[in-house]
Chains A and B, each alone.
Chain A
Amino acid sequence: MASDRQFERRKLVDKNMKILIVDDFSTMRRIIKNLLRDLGFTNTQEADDGQTALPMLQSGDFDFLVTDWNMPGMQGIDLLKAVRADAKLKDLPVLMVTAEQKREQIVEAAQAGVNGYIVKPFTAQTLKEKLDKIFERIEG
């Protein structure tokens, strides 16, 4: 049964994984934080742009990164590129949650090595699906 398989897989995902949420709007960070908590992920931290996020990632043993694109200071796409260029961080799963929806932008993010791309406004269900998909690929 599909639901049983899903349950098995979810059991494998470490709900205690450390997740960094990067967005310049605190309301969006709160929404993502609450949605993640609803999905069982309680170990989250926040940053308001790439410049703040990068040092946190470099020193903070994070397991997952959720980032916006359009932010002052360092943009999400540049953060993604910096993560992929960093020997220690290059394998960190990155999920983009952004209002940017030009095809060339999505292609650029894909080429930069993003693991998932969600456009705003999004639903709780979409977030869950994309997370599941990313974990599925990592384990598979």
Chain B
Amino acid sequence: MTEEKKSLLGESSLEFARKLVQEIENGNESGVEAMIDELADLRESTLFMEVGKLTRQLHDAINSFHIDAKISELADRDFPDARERLNYVIEMTDKAANTTLNAIEESLPMCESMEDSARRMAEEWQRFTRREMSADEFRAMSPRIGKYFEDSTEQAGQLRGKLTEVLMAQDFQDLTGQIIKKVITLVEDVESNLVKLIRIAGAGAVEKKKEDKQDKDIKAEGPVVPGVDDVRADVVSGQDEVDDLLSSLGF
């Protein structure tokens, strides 16, 4: 049987055919039947071989997909990582919004009180310029004017402080922007890996694992996300540690 599989047009096939013709001529029905069964077996085993070959290809394809370290990295690390990063973005934007709203809520009553006292002083001042004010009343107004100037200076200073708080709260945009850019890069990675998967499944091609380029340069990493980056790399946890490190270097 194995010989026949290898060369269907070979000597043994010819032999087989002659024998079959002979059996038919001899009217040997059971012999003919046996020979046709043998032929069918041959055909079936070729089919099995093809299925086997396909199975092997599928197996290789799946293996090569597993081998692509990038894929398992995506699943094991990068996705949870991206989730953490996006959560941090939510946290930062939330904090910024609250800081801004708090500052505004504290500023508005200050504005109102400044407006009120300015209006009251203006009314009194107008009465004075219209000479409707007695000398006693004027003497009573004089310290109020002094206090008004003091209060205005103080409240303007407080307002200025609140505005600086609002200003500083906007720094989230820079940091969240950098984090979101990183997540976008991850999404692009997933996309290209999906394309690869489709190619492997479609053509049965074996993807060679790409050698990771070893970059010796110190690269910019973007903002450190608490709980994600700081557990992995040697990072400082704030300005104080930066100052300590720099002073240890002679700064």
Q: Per-residue 0/1 for B233-251: is the Cβ within 8 Å of any A Cβ (1 yes, 0 no)?
A: 1111111001001100101
B168 within 8 A of A: yes
| Set B224, B238, B242: member contacting A117, Cβ < 8 A | B242
B residues near A104, Cβ cutoff 8 Å: 218, 234
User: Would you call B171 an interface residue if the criterion is a C-beta within 8 Å of the partner chain's C-beta atoms?
Assistant: yes
Of chain B, the residue at the smallest CB distance from A30 is B170
Interface: A38 (CB within 8 A): yes
Give Cα distance in the complex from A107 to B80, angstroms.
Answer: 30
Q: Which residues of B contact A118 (CB under 8 A)?
A: 239, 242
**Which chain A residues border B175 with CB–CB below 8 Å?**
99, 120-121
Expressed in whole angstroms, the Cα–Cα distance for A123 and B169 within the complex equals 10
Partner of A102, one of B168, B172, B173, B233: B233
* A75 touches which of B167, B178, B220, B233 (Cβ 8 Å): B220
Per-position binary interface string of chain A over residues 84-118, scored 1 when its CB falls under 8 Å from any chain B CB and 0 otherwise: 00000000000000011111111110100000011
Min CB–CB distance A125 → chain B (angstroms) = 10
A17 at the interface (CB under 8 A from B): no
User: Which chain A positions have C-beta within 8 A of B222?
Assistant: 70, 99-100
| B31 neighbours in A (Cβ, 8 Å) | none
A70 pairs with B221, CB closer than 8 A: yes
Q: Which of B164, B178, B235 contacts A101 (CB 8 A)?
A: B235
Interface pair B178/A70, CB less than 8 Å apart: yes
User: In whole angstroms, what is the CA distance A107 to B233 when docked?
Assistant: 15
B114 CB to nearest A CB, Å: 21
The docked-state distance in angstroms from the alpha carbon of A30 to that of B20 is 95
Q: Please give the number of chain A residues whose Cβ is less than 8 angstroms from any Cβ of chain B in the complex.
A: 35
Contact A27 B173 (CB under 8 A): yes
**In the complex, A110→B245 CA distance in Å?**
10
Q: Given the known inter-chain contacts A110-B251, A117-B242, A117-B246, please indicate yes or no for A103 contacting B167, CB distance below 8 A.
A: no
* Contact among B164, B171, B221, B251 for A27, CB-based, below 8 A: B171
**What's the minimum C-beta distance from A133 to chain B, rounded to whole angstroms?**
9
Q: Return the chain B residue nearest A111 by Cβ.
A: B249
Tell me whether B177 and A25 are in contact (CB under 8 A): yes
Question: Is A44's CB within 8 Å of the partner chain B?
Answer: no
Residue of A with least CB distance to B250:
A110
| Interface members, chain B 101-124 (any A CB < 8 Å) | none
Interface string of A67-89 (1 = CB under 8 A from B): 00111000111000000000000
Contact A119:B221 (CB < 8 A) given known A27-B170, A28-B174: no
Chain B residues with CB below 8 A from A131, complex form: none
Asked if A51 CB lies within 8 Å of chain B CBs, one says: no
Contact (Cβ within 8 A) B239 A124: no
B233 CB → nearest A CB, Å: 6
Interface pair B242/A120, CB less than 8 Å apart:
no
**Nearest chain B residue, comparing its CB with the CB of A33:** B167
Complex CA distance for A101 and B234, rounded to whole angstroms:
9
Q: Give B contacts to A, CB under 8 Å.
A: 164, 167-168, 170-175, 177-178, 218, 220-224, 233-239, 242, 245-246, 249, 251
The 6 A-B residue pairs with the shortest CB-CB distance, nearest first, are A70-B220, A99-B223, A25-B174, A28-B174, A27-B173, A101-B236
Give 5 A-B contacts (CB < 8 Å), ordered by A residue.
A31-B171, A35-B167, A75-B220, A101-B242, A107-B249
